[in-house]
Structure 1
């Protein structure tokens, strides 16, 4: 499968319609990740990253699911940056998803895009049309995916990275540089949040060990 996401985006402003048509194209009870990427065609990688991020925008998720989602986003984004075939292990490419569960996610994605597309449009095109900027955006997607995979058992550690991925993916698809900038801002906030949590955790651990006379 040859990637085409690195081509200049069509900026059609109609990805909500593309998303809403997906259930009609699935004629089986289950679909693999490979099938989904093929189904999405030209922008399959970005659409897949966007769809993966949507369930995590609600600050309630099952423990461990963020790691799997982050890994998928990581390998897809890496493939897009280097403009190679999807560098995804066969086991992951052949992972089967329930059509019923996928449609729930698709419907949620459709609702979000429907609201967003009232405000987004092609602008600040240097952020999306320049090859170097697409690669930079891809690296930030990878960074967000790595935060996704950070196993911190506290609120928002899946939601904030998901927001970063969602903004960057939709911004790239719709050629909206403002949305890309929103993704950058979300990454800064997320990094500060994660850093604060880690520092506070370390400080708390040090105080606890000191209290116990272990340090």
Structure 2
């Protein structure tokens, strides 16, 4: 008999999480810090997945593996200690335009819904 692992913080699909974030964005701007807090661990894991994409190509650009690998290590350390990754205040408090962010999140929801059936 097999039992599921049962992660406590991944009980929702990431597409559902992105859709909730999409509907909860009010106003003209949102800070990167607020967006990361809303995304939680699922968002950080999704970011790690995107950062690992350049490693799938047979030809590498010099320096990319160091920068992206360091990003993956720092994000995974933050997940391990159950905290948001540290970002300089200037970066974390950077304001993102909601009008430009909404279409990106909508495309993310559409893409994740397509691959949800495989997971």
TM-score by length of 1: 0.37
**TM-score, structure 2 as length reference:** 0.62
Higher relative contact order (CA 8 A, sep 6+): 2
CA distance in 1: counterparts of 2:38 and 2:70, whole angstroms: 17
User: Map of 1:76-91 to 2, 5 A cutoff?
Assistant: 76-91=75-90
Q: How far apart are residue 43 of structure 1 and its match? A: 3.7
Q: Which has the larger radius of gyration?
A: 1
What is aligned with 2:11?
12
Over the residues paired in the alignment, what is the CA RMSD in angstroms?
A: 3.4
Instruction: Give secondary structure in 1 for the equivalent of 2:44.
Output: helix
Distance 1:109-1:82 versus aligned 2 partners, 3 A rule = same
Q: How many pairs does the alignment contain?
A: 100
1:102 equivalent in structure 2: 101
Change (3 A) 1:29 1:71: farther
Give the structure with the larger helix fraction: 1
Distance 1:31 1:73 in 2: 22
Residue 29 of structure 2 corresponds to which residue in structure 1? 30
Provide structure 1 residue ranges, at least 5 long, that are not aligned to the other structure.
1-7, 58-65, 121-215
